[in-house]
Structure 1
Amino acid sequence: MIKGKYRYIMAAGALLAAGLAGASAQAQQTFKVGIVTFLSGPAAESFGVPAWNGGKVVIDALNRGEGPAPYNKVGFGGLKIEPVVIDENGGATKQVQELRNLYQRDNVDFVIGYVGSGDCLAVAPAAEELKRLLVLYDCGTPRIFEEAKYDYVFRTAAHGTMDNVALARYLKNSNVKVDNFSLINQDYAWGHDSKADFIGAMANMYPNAKVEADLLPKFGAGQYGTEVSALMRTNSSVVHSSLWGGDLQALILQGAPRGLFKKSVVALSAADHVIPPLGDKMPEGVIIGARGAYGLMAPKSAINDWFWKIYQDAYKTYPVQAPYRMVQSILGVKNAIEKAMEKNGGKKPTNEEIAAALRGSEWDSPGGRIRMVNGNGHQAIQDIAIGKTKWDAASKSMQLVDIQRFPAECVNPPPNMKSQDWLKAGMPGAKCN
C-alpha cells in the first residue's frame, strides 16, 4: 500500500516537474526578429536611424505591455520581442548575404527591413528560396509584387505609385497651371519607377503638359550644380523629384539659394523627413509627400497620439515617414501573430501560420488603416496626404498647410493590375471621395 502510494506521489511529482519545465520553456521563448535599415551612409541620418528609433521605442513599449488596445498584449502574443539590428548600407549583394546570415547564423524567426528598392528586389527572392518570412517595411518600387509572386514575402506599406498619383492629383485640385514639367530622380529602381509613375499620372491629370528635363543622377551623388543649372534653364511649371535622405537635403541646400524653388513649383514625393533637420533652410511653398499620412499629416487617433508621445519623449523631435512605416510593419506582424495564436491554441506560430494570418489582413497604425489588398494579399494599400511647406513664426518651425487627403483606392492600382497598365488605361476604378 505504501509502495503504491509512493509510486503515485513520484508520478505526480514528475508530471508537476514536467509542467513547470514546459511553463519555464514558454516563458523563455521569444520572437527573435531581424531588423534591417540604414545605420550608416547618406540615408542613415534622415531615414534609417529614425526608422529604427521608431521601432525601438515601440518594441520596448510592447515588451512592457504598454501598447494601446488592441496592441496591449506583451510583445508578440505574450512572447518578448528580441531585435537583431543590421545596417543596410553596402549594396544589394551584401544585403543578400546579411539576410542569409540573419536566418541561418542568428536564427531569427523572421526579418523586418529594407529601405532601398534595389535591396528589396535582391533580398525578396533569397527569402523565398529559403522559405523564411520577410516583411518589407519600406522600399517604394512597385515591381516587387508586380513582377513576381511570393509565399513568404510581404510589404506592409504602399508602393511609390501612390505617392506620384497623389502629387498629380494635388496639383490638379490646387489649380496649378502646368504647361511643362521636369524631373530629377535617382538612377536606380526607385528613381526610374517614380519617374514613370509621375509621368503616367500627369498624362491623366494634364494630358497636354510636356516633359522638359529628365535627370537621373546617381544615388549618393551629393553635388547637383549641373542638375540645378539644367532645371533653371527649362522654365518648367513644375519640377518633380523622388530624391530622399542626404541626396534630397543636398538638392534643396544647393538649389534654394539659386532660386529653383521660386522659379518652379517643386513637388517632392517623399520629403517630409528632411523638414526637421533642415529647419528654416527648407523653402516655403514646396509640395511635400510623406509616402503616406505620416508625421505632420498623420490622422488624429489614439494610436497616433501614443506613438507621437513615446517617440517625442525619447528623441525630442517628432516622427516622420520612416519610423511610421517601421511601426506599422511591427504592428501588422503583431496582429498576424496573435491571430495565428488564436487559431493554434496559443503556441508560437510557424512562418507559414504567420504568413497565412498576414495575407489579406487589416490593422490600424499611427498612419491610419493598412490593408493587404494587392499582390495576392502580400502588398499593402493605404491612404495618403500631401501638403505644402510654410514657416510658422510662433513655433519657429516649418509646418505643412493646405493638406489634402486621398483614399487608398484613389491613388493605388486595383488588385491584379500593374501600376503602369493602370495609369495608361486612365486609372480605371479609382475612387476619390
Structure 2
Amino acid sequence: MTYSIFKQAAAVALAGATALGPMPALSKEKIKVGIVTFLSGPAAGPFGVPGHQGAELVIEAINAGSLPAPYDTPGFAGAKLTPIFVDEAGGNTKQVAEYRNLVQKQGVDAVIGYISSGSCLSVAPVAEELETLTIIAVCGSPRLFEEGPKTHVFRTTGHAVGDGVAAALYVRDQLGAENYTGINQNYAWGQDSYKFFDLAMKTINPDSEASGNPQFPKLFAGQFGTEISTLSLDKAPLVHSSFWDGDMEAFVLQAGVRGFFQQKTFISTLGASAVDRLGKRFPEGVVMGTRGEYGLLVRDMDTPLNRWFVDHYKEEFGDYPLGPSYQYAQSLLALKIAMDKAAEEAGTFPTQAQIEAQLKGLEWDSFGGRISMSLGDGHQAVHPVGYGITGWDKDRGEPVATDVKFYPADCIMPPEGQTGLDWLEAGMPGATC
C-alpha cells in the first residue's frame, strides 16, 4: 500500500513518542493531491474546466509564494503541491473506483473536488473508510453533513438551502410577491432545489402561490421544447431553475428564440457560467445567483485577493473566472492555511490529524469574501449568497449584473444541528435577515 506524506508523518510521530533518541526528520518537499472535476461531457465547459483552471492558477501561485499577503509564503507548510487531475465524468461507481485508486495506489495526501452531488455523496463514506482528508469544492447537496458527522470530509462552499432562501429574499426585495413555477432537472439535486425555494417562498413571500405544474426534465436532456411550451402557457410570471452544466445553455438558447424571457421572469440559482459563455446571446433581465461572493456579481469588487484572482485568471486563460473557478481556488487556499497553521503549531511538518484540526471551524478571507466553517461540527462552510440582474455593457463589450444584493449566512442557512428541510418547514426560526 502507498502511504501519503501525512500518514508517514503520523507514523513517525507515533514512533518518536516511544523510541529512544531524536525523531527522524520528515521530508516536506512536496505533497500529492487528487483534484477531481469534470474534464469531459456536458458539465466540463461551464463547470469542470473553469474549476480545473482555478485550481491550476492557485496551485502555481501558492507553490511560488506569489499570492497576495497574508498568503504569500511559498507552499503548503513549505511543501510544493503536485496535482493529479481526475475526470469526474462517468458516474458515481466510477468516481468511487477513481477515489480508491488515488488513495490506495497513487498515495495522494488529500483529495479536493466534486461538482456533482451524486459524486460527493458517493465518495464521502469511502473517504471516511480510508481515513483520507477530502475537501469538497462545489457539490451543493445539504445531505453531505445532514446524514451523519464526518471526520475527514470538509466542504468549503455553502449548499442548496442558501441558494433557495436567498432567491426567495431577492424576489421579495426586488420583484415583489409573484406566483411562481420552475424547471429543474429530474434527480435529487433539481427536486431538492425547487423544494427549498418553494418552502422559502411560503415563509418569505406568503402572498405568492406555486403553480401546480413545475417541470422536471431528465438530467442532460438537451432538448426542452415541450417544457418551454408548458411554462409559457403557465400563468405564473416567475420561473425558478437550478439548471447547471450544458442544460442551462441549451435551455437559454431554445427559450430565447421563442421570446420566453420577454414573457417570464427567470431566476437562476446556478447558471452564471452561461452568462459569459453565451455572451450577447444570453438574455438581459434574468435574475442570476452565485453561491458566494464571486463570478459575475463581484467582477469589480476591489479587494486585493479578488483583484489578483480576476486579473491573473484573465491573463492566463483569456476569460473571467466563473463560480467553480473560485470554489476550487478557495478549497486549495483553505488547505494551505490549515497546513501552515498546523505546521506552525506543531513545529514540524503536520500530520493529517493536525491539519484536520485546523480546518475544523476555520475562518478565512478568500478570493470571493470571507468563508466560515461553522456548520457540520466545523466541517461545513457558510458565506453570503447573492443575486443580480443580467445586462450587457456596450462600452466594455461584456455582460454585467445590476441590482446586486448579497444575503448573510445567518439569514439563509439553517442553524447547527437542524436539517435544511426541517428548518424551512418550521418557517426558518432564528434567521437574522
TM-score (norm: length of structure 1): 0.92
Which stretch shows the higher mean deviation, 29-38 or 407-416? 407-416
Equivalent position of 1:387 in the other structure: 388
Q: Given the alignment, which residue of 326, 334, 343 partners 2:345?
A: 343
Which stretch shows the higher mean deviation, 388-397 or 153-162? 388-397
Is the aligned partner of 1:406 residue 2:407? yes
SS at match of 1:414: coil
Q: Is the 8 A contact 1:52 1:323 kept in 2?
A: yes
Q: Deviations over 1:385-432 (max 9, x none)?
A: 210011111122221001111111111111111111111222122222
Measured in 2, the distance between the counterparts of 1:191 and 1:65 equals 40
Measured in 2, the distance between the counterparts of 1:274 and 1:210 equals 29
Measured in 2, the distance between the counterparts of 1:257 and 1:236 equals 20
Equivalent position of 1:355 in the other structure: 356
Cα distance, 1:285 vs. partner? 0.5
Q: Is the 8 A contact 1:157 1:382 kept in 2?
A: yes
Measured in 1, the distance between the counterparts of 2:274 and 2:392 equals 14
Q: Deviations over 1:295-341 (max 9, x none)?
A: 13234311111111110110111111000000111111111111111
Q: Is the 8 A contact 1:235 1:263 kept in 2?
A: no
Equivalent position of 2:187 in the other structure: 188
Equivalent position of 1:118 in the other structure: 118
Q: Is the 8 A contact 2:177 2:208 kept in 1?
A: no
Equivalent position of 2:416 in the other structure: 415
Equivalent position of 1:150 in the other structure: 150
Measured in 2, the distance between the counterparts of 1:413 and 1:344 equals 35
Measured in 1, the distance between the counterparts of 2:36 and 2:199 equals 32
Cα distance, 1:210 vs. partner? 2.4
Equivalent position of 2:375 in the other structure: 374
Which stretch shows the higher mean deviation, 322-331 or 300-309? 300-309
Equivalent position of 2:55 in the other structure: 55
Moved over 4 A (4+): none
Q: Which amino acid aligns with 1:409?
A: D
Measured in 2, the distance between the counterparts of 1:156 and 1:121 equals 15
Cα distance, 1:126 vs. partner? 0.8
Q: Which amino acid aligns with 1:277?
A: R
Q: Is the 8 A contact 2:177 2:207 kept in 1?
A: no
1:3-42 correspondence to structure 2 within 5 Å: 26=27, 29-42=29-42
Gaps of 5+ in 2: 1-23
Equivalent position of 1:129 in the other structure: 129
SS at match of 1:221: coil
Number of aligned pairs? 407
Measured in 2, the distance between the counterparts of 1:288 and 1:146 equals 27
TM-score (norm: length of structure 2): 0.92
Q: Which amino acid aligns with 2:64?
A: R
Measured in 1, the distance between the counterparts of 2:138 and 2:198 equals 22
Measured in 1, the distance between the counterparts of 2:57 and 2:166 equals 30
Which stretch shows the higher mean deviation, 410-419 or 32-41? 410-419
Measured in 1, the distance between the counterparts of 2:63 and 2:106 equals 21
Q: Is the 8 A contact 1:118 1:188 kept in 2?
A: no
Please identify the structure whose Cα radius of gyration is greater. 1
Gaps of 5+ in 1: 1-21
Which stretch shows the higher mean deviation, 135-144 or 208-217? 208-217
Q: CA RMSD in A?
A: 1.3
Equivalent position of 2:72 in the other structure: 72
Equivalent position of 1:203 in the other structure: 202
Measured in 2, the distance between the counterparts of 1:44 and 1:341 equals 36
Cα distance, 1:346 vs. partner? 2.5
